[in-house]
Amino acid sequence: MKLATYKDGSRDGQLVVVARDLGLAHYASDICSRMQQLLDDWSFLAPQLQDLYEQLNAGRARHAFPFDPRQCMAPLPRAYQWADGSAYLNHVELVRKARGAEVPASFYTDPLMYQGGSDDFLGPCDDVALPSAAMGIDFEAEIAVITGDVKMGTAPEPALDAVRLLLLANDWSLRNLIPAELAKGFGFFQSKPATAFSPVAVTPDELGAAWQGGRVHLPLQSTWNGRRVGRCDAGPEMTFHFGQLIAHIAKTRNVRAGSVVGSGTVSNKDWSRGYSCIAEKRCIETIESGAPQTEFMQFGDTIRIEMLGADGKSVFGAIDQQLVSLDEIGR
Identity at 146, one-letter amino acid code:
I
pLDDT at 300: 97
Give DSSP secondary structure letters for 138-206: E--EEEEEEE--B-TT--HHHHGGGEEEEEEEE--EEGGGHHHHHHTTS--STT--PPEE-S-EE-GGG
Rounded CA-CA distance 86/88 in Å is 6
Q: Global pTM?
A: 0.96
Please say if the pLDDT value at position 45 is more than 60. yes
Identity at 186, one-letter amino acid code:
F
What percent of the chain stands above pLDDT 70?
Answer: 99
Q: 3-class SS at 19? A: coil
Across the chain, what does the average pLDDT equal?
96
Predicted confidence (pLDDT) per residue in 124-141, tens digit: 999 999 999 999 999 999
Give DSSP secondary structure letters for 95-110: HHHHTT-PPPGGGGTS
Please say if the pLDDT value at position 153 is more than 60. yes
Rounded CA-CA distance 276/210 in Å is 20
